[in-house]
Copies of this chain bind each other. A is one copy, B any other.
């Protein structure tokens, strides 16, 4: 992973000519920033880890499992939000005091014990793809902070093909997991945009949702068990496919983002590799008609594996298909559908009837195939835009079908007015990529020509957006999670009693508050009721 951007450095590209032509039309003239420092040019504070600290961790994970070199610290300094990338472009950077690489559950437990004895905060680290500040090197009240990199907890530990279950070590990446399952003729089917780098444990910790969620569900629904290491003991949760044995503790750790413990193993539901895959694109007169179509399909069920709708703005710039941006100025709102598995004819016939009834027209397989080909490439484009001086970020929420249009308008207004008040031109695009019987997600991409330092501008704009989301019934995140960036708004979403529950669990499992300080539960909680 590129240390200060997304993905494989060899895949980084100049902005496509069409996009370069589009930018002045959308944003006016933008200012190309000074080139960022090389990794060797970045300055960091000396590590606060003592020789004794490093020896204590090395006694658990081996000498080669402790790294306090600047390069490792810089590489673990945060996630991949646009603010993260902007900070990675600065000459002075906040980084953890070292990186520790345990190799199994027992070593994770032992590392937590060392951290507790030595008053060192611990940031669990999977693929490094958080976009909500969950990986900030925050030491809280502690003497130092380490990044606990889980990459050595890797691989398919067990498969039960008859039951359709597989157990992965938490540090296994998406592609590794799928490759190992494919050897058994099985698939997990979880494809968030971070798929190529993110880990199975990260998917669980962040309550991820992938692009095939219409077919295979959110990651929440895929997880049938977890093994978790906490500072005060470990636990295994999830014993049966359905249970009424008290509250579902799996769901307590899904979305816990490392604040209660370190997820070390994840048991997931898997299915046979789909034999067939059919692509079909649709065009709707406008977003509202498209939403009506997606609602009908989601409420009927038994439809496509992927269904996503781009609004007029996203359709017009072609962002729905990364490879086509700017090539074709399409009208209306475009929909991508993909069917996997079997009974495709029946599912497609029913979906066709429902989408037609909502005003849709089939537009062939091409756009959907192009979407699939470029489905993981969006983040590369962001790096090129940042290089060109264009601020680019995404954010997301979800609400009921009834509330969707109002929420979309409110977020767009907050973005547009926020940038306008900062003297920046912006353009906002939106898509629906996760549908449920009762509602759907909204995913926004915003481009802005910010002529001053973009970080404080975005902080202000994002706060207005978050306020608008909560004021209009949305959730503060549909699948990006909370991290530190959303924590103050989570407190408003869950209310005082909800936050007291999280704080009580935190105190019980992690009484020294070693784990991921400031994530999910804001450092200063609003006063109780």
Contacts and interface: CB of A to CB of B under 8 A. Distances in A.
A175 interface: no
B438 A477 contact: no
Contacts of A163: 400-403, 438-439
Given A252-B247, A507-B504, A241 B164 contact: no
Interface residues of A, number: 94
Q: How many copies does the complex hold?
A: 2
B240 A478 contact: yes
A478 B242 contact: yes
A136 to B, nearest CB: 17
Nearest to A480: B244
A64 interface: no
Given A241-B440, A244-B209, A253-B247, A497 B160 contact: no
A388 to B, nearest CB: 31
Given A398-B240, A504-B504, A224 B438 contact: yes
A461 to B, nearest CB: 20
B437 A249 contact: no
A445 interface: no
Contact of A243 (B234, B253, B477, B503): B477
A493 B245 contact: yes
B402 A162 contact: yes
A242 B255 contact: no
A237 B499 CA distance: 11
A235 B498 CA distance: 7
A405 to B, nearest CB: 11
A481 B244 contact: yes
Centre residue among A208, A236, A402, A498 by max chain B CB count within 10 A:
A498
A89 to B, nearest CB: 27
A249 B500 CA distance: 12
A245 B255 contact: yes
Contacts of A299: 164, 271
A240 B474 contact: yes
A264 to B, nearest CB: 13
23 contacts: A162-B401, A163-B402, A165-B400, A207-B248, A224-B438, A232-B497, A233-B528, A234-B497, A239-B474, A239-B493, A240-B397, A240-B399, A240-B439, A240-B478, A242-B439, A243-B477, A245-B493, A246-B255, A247-B255, A247-B502, A269-B438, A342-B350, A504-B508
